[in-house]
Structure 1
Amino acid sequence: MTSRIVLATHNPHKVEEFAAIVAATRPDIEVVGYDGPEPVEDGTTFADNALIKARAACAHTGLPALADDSGICVDVLGGAPGVFSAYWAGHRKDARANLDLLLDQLADIADPHRSAQFVSTIALVRPDGTHTVVEGTWPGRLAREASGGGGFGYDPIFIPNGQPAGAERTVGEWSADEKNADSHRARAFTALAPLLEAL
């Protein structure tokens, strides 16, 4: 029997990505999009915001709810943009403006100091009010310019660690399957998957 779980986001890219990640290990769980009101994300950590979103979606639908709060954390910026990643260039949530501003801020930073990591915190809230929070990190560094048409957000400037020397690519140049197998969300979901058995 297929179980349904709502993903607390209005971002269709995230719904598609999560559905693929979940299907790879739990084909018995159907991820459905959220069509309810968007809560105010006024938390100061990824975990705070993930729980705010998951609780709102669970209350609205009556289904178990997953919410991801994620962003890019740049070491030389003290972990920023962090929880402000989606709004780095203002409240319009303009992904290209966010990316361009970050590149501009790091224009004079040498390659050895451009280390960064994507962080994904996933909250699972159940209808009985209990919840679980897990985190996944994806270390790498920032490119000097955007490349590739894949992914979304900061993907075109993020170069994950562990790629062959001389053949490194930004996530914008990866296929969806490559990203879904290794991303920060995939890593967080790996920690969460055993906890979904009760659904």
Structure 2
Amino acid sequence: MWKETSPFEPDYQSNEKVELEQCKDAGNAKRGAHVFNNNVLKFHHKVLEMFIEKYDISNLQGYNKEIIEEFGSHTLSQETTVEIQRNMVVHFEPEDQYKNNNATLYGIHHEELIEAFLNVLGHINPEDVTEADKEHLNDEINKINRLEIYVDTDAKKKWIESGMNHREKAKRQARFDVVKQQVATMFETDRSLEWSLEILGRVSPLFSQRQ
């Protein structure tokens, strides 16, 4: 079965589970709050996992685990990954009464974007993907980037303001802008509609062999 062989994480998390996961840092000042939601590093990994699991693709004749699952990796640089995971983190004191309001918003749009990807991938044959499904996916991606859903604005503000002086704050803003642009590019270009169609291009022939 897929669950026995998959290197991916366990079952897809519901909206509530995602929201809870993203709120953990909010209640623990020692761990801190991340400026960028860490989920962006594994989002497409989860989409691919759900697709493979739903259609039992790993059991199709000719399935190449390494080739297909390579599509699940994020496209961010190691430096950007470290910025997201470790560097762009702030610690709120209890008196700050910090609440990760971004967690709820991210949880909603996270699920909507996954559904949009699965609508496209569910056609199996890339030529069968409707224009409506393509447009819907692009709209969801644009919304994610336009609203910066993956950014905790309170954590961002505190992280930038933590700079010792104006010059340091400007440097932090520039670092934020670089990471934000790379994340936006990943969603808009590197792991976008074309990404899902490329996956179907690899997977569709496997279904033909089964017939």
- What TM-score, normalized to structure 1? 0.28
Of Structure 1 and Structure 2, which has the larger fraction of its residues in helix? 2
Q: Which has the higher contact order (CA 8 A, sep 6+)?
A: 2
State which structure, 1 or 2, has the greater radius of gyration over its C-alpha atoms.
2
- What TM-score, normalized to structure 2? 0.27
Of Structure 1 and Structure 2, which has the larger fraction of its residues in strand? 1
